[in-house]
Amino acid sequence: MFNIVLIEKYFVLFLIYSFAGWFIETTGEAIKSKKFINRGFLLGPICPVYGIGACLITALLTRYSDDWFIIFGISGILCGALEYFTSYVMEKLFKARWWDYSNFKLNINGRICLEVIALFAIAGVLIITVFNPTIERFIISNLNEKVLDIISISGGILLLTDVIISLNVMNKIKNISTSVAKEFKDNTEEISTKVRNIILEKSLPYRRIIEAFPQAFANHIKERTKMIVDKAGEIKDKTIENINNAVDKTKENINNAVDKTKENFNNAVDNLKEKTKSFNKKEQ
């Protein structure tokens, strides 16, 4: 039997840590670029991967609250695996690398690196020993079941709506990229400029993706261009192969017809010779 109240409390934790992750990402990007950029795949102020990681740490490691070493180790492994998996899935879905740690010395396929794992491990210790007790004391414990219901239902609807809109935006960007890539073939720079201009003319959700993830957008364009070029190459090779097969088949049919004609002609000549011999014998 599901404990609805417990699930709703975890959902509140998810929302809090997802917002905290978005705030950290956005603040870091603002400091780096000196302007506000709404980071995160979703339109709203939320980065779900942070919320999921925090909830997993809470569910699995709360029992070890007195053993910081276990929390540190498992949090790093758990969140590192989550980030790697998220990077892999998003790249397969959208043909773009949303973050890349290839410049860091100790990394795995550019999806995760030791420095980030260490930060996750430290965050895990803070979540179990500091943040969760504080959130429980000052926020969750002051929410009755009715308020929890309202937050969970409204938050769930908003989150689902955001996911649907964001996926729809990415799908349309993918279609635009494919269409432009077909027009300009392998000129990646021209394709990127053209797609960017088209998207910048659209509404805020489209523009936000480019501003939030410029490198991912560039990688997406390169991947879509490569896909179109490779597809065109496959079609070209297949067409040439079909033509060559048709030519070979035609040659084979012509040779068979010539051989058959020769055979029939020789048979006719032999029959004529036989008939001529028979006629000569009768005349004699």
89-98, 110-119, 247-256: which has the highest mean pLDDT? 110-119
Structure tokens at 1: 């039997």
Cα angle, residue 280 at apex, residues 275 and 281 outer, rounded to 5°:
100
pLDDT digits (tens, 9 = 90+) for 213-257: 666 666 666 666 666 656 656 666 677 777 878 778 888 888 887
In terms of phi and psi (left: phi > 0; alpha: psi -120 to 50; beta: otherwise), the region of 34 is left
- In this prediction the pTM is 0.72
Confidence band (pLDDT; 50, 70, 90) for 210? low
pLDDT at 85: 95
C-alpha separations of 11 from 14, 126, 146 in Å = 5, 19, 14
pLDDT digits (tens, 9 = 90+) for 39-58: 777 888 899 999 999 999 99
In terms of phi and psi (left: phi > 0; alpha: psi -120 to 50; beta: otherwise), the region of 143 is beta
pLDDT at 18: 96
How does the average pLDDT of the chain come out, rounded? 81
CA distance 108 to 114: 9
